[in-house]
Every structure is written in C-alpha cells, then in structure tokens.
Amino acid sequence: MSEKQMCDACGENEAKHFCRGCDDEPCDCGDDDGEWGVCDDCNSDDGDEYVCNYHRPYAWDMMDAFSKFGNEDGNRYHSYTHFISNLLEKNGYEVETDSWGMHNSCVIMSIKKDDKEIYGEEISKTQIVKKIENGYIDNIRKIVEEPFNIGYDNPFLVLPDEIKTLLKNAVESQEWIDAGCTGLGNSLWYNDVRESDK
C-alpha cells in the first residue's frame, strides 16, 4: 500500500485534491513526485478541481518584464518575460535578462541593437527623464527630472519608438491575449509622466 501524500500547503492533512496541470505532465512545481496536492481545508478552488500556482492562469502585462516587482514580485512560478524578449530578439535586438534577488525572477536588464545599448545600465547613467514624484509627507505630486532607473521607471520613457510599436501591437495579438496578457500595464507605474502631466 502506497504512503498517503500529505497536503503540500499545510503539511498536516492528507492531500485530497491534485493539480490537473501536474497530471498532464511532470513538473517541478513543488512536490517531490511532481504532483501538487492539497487537503479540503487548503483547496482554494470550487469542487474537486484544483490547479496549483505553477499551472494557474496568470493575468500579466508587458511591464512585468521590466519591473523589479513584476510577476507578482517574484511570487509566480511562471515568468512571462520570454514573450517580450523573444519578440525583440526576432526583430534583431539582443536582450539580457536577470533575476532581481527575492523579487522578480526574470527582468529585462539590457536591450542592444548593432552592439549599441538602447536600454540598460548606460541609459540609466546618462538619460534624464521627467518623472512624477509623490510627496509622502505633504502628498503633493510634482514633476522632477532625474536619471532613468531600471526596474522602477516606466521603460516607455526611454525605449525607441520602434520597440514601443512592437510592444503595443504584440499586447493586442490573440496569441498574447490567450496567454493571459492584459496589455501594456502603465497602471503599475507611479512615476511615468503622461501627456496630461506635462
């Protein structure tokens, strides 16, 4: 008789609900045997159906690839940054990604074309952009000019028009929508200067 699997969430009760995504193919979503299971108390889904976080659909946007806090601040097993990096690479750009410590596991850190960096460390050293600064004490919003800050500032402040057009078209494509993309995601950014702010 095989040993009962305990709940992967609480570890105290017997697992009764197993992720249907893990059943389809083995994965490394957390359980040793590749099948995530939870007890009745930890089942967040209705009925007997259950989907673990690894396989759960995730509503993401383009900014997840550029933000330190993207992909739910690194709390997602899946990262959708590859949608953006693959698109750019298909159009002749070189893209470097890296993890941001305990935060986003896959952030676009550099974009180059013809060996010239158009987004990355050099841009953050030299490009001065207009940002919205929110006063934490007086709560006054004002526009300031500061160096571009990767991982925090809206990349649309420095990206060339060609890349902006590629991204705007991609987020409206059926392939990206089917994958859970909700758009450009400017609402995530507190310090991008919109036309109405200028």
- Position of tokens 């000019």? 145
> Per mean pLDDT, which range of 64-68, 86-90, 157-161, 177-181 is the poorest?
177-181
Going by pLDDT thresholds of 50, 70 and 90, the confidence category of residue 138 is low
Mean pLDDT calculated for residue range 159-187 = 83
CA distances from 159 to 14, 34, 120, 186 (A): 51, 41, 10, 14
With contact defined as beta carbons under 8 Å apart, do 153 and 189 qualify? yes
24 or 11, which is more confident? Answer: 11
Residue 71, sorted as left (phi over 0), alpha (psi -120 to 50) or beta, turns out to be left
As a whole number of angstroms, the distance between CA 71 and CA 78 comes to 8
| Residue 86 in this model has a pLDDT that exceeds 70 | yes
Per-residue DSSP letter, 126: H
Q: Which residues of 85-96 are buried (b: 16+ CB within 10 A; e: fewer)?
A: bebbeeeebbbe
Distances (CA, A) of 31 to 38, 79, 97: 11, 19, 27
The residue among 169 and 37 whose pLDDT is bigger is: 169
Q: What is the CA radius of gyration of the chain?
A: 21
Alpha helices (H) in the chain, listed in sequence order = 20-24, 70-74, 81-90, 121-126, 161-171, 174-178
Beta-strand (E) ranges in 31-180?
A: 37-38, 94-98, 107-113, 116-119, 128-134, 141-147
pLDDT in tens, 50-85: 777 667 667 788 888 998 888 777 766 567 888 899
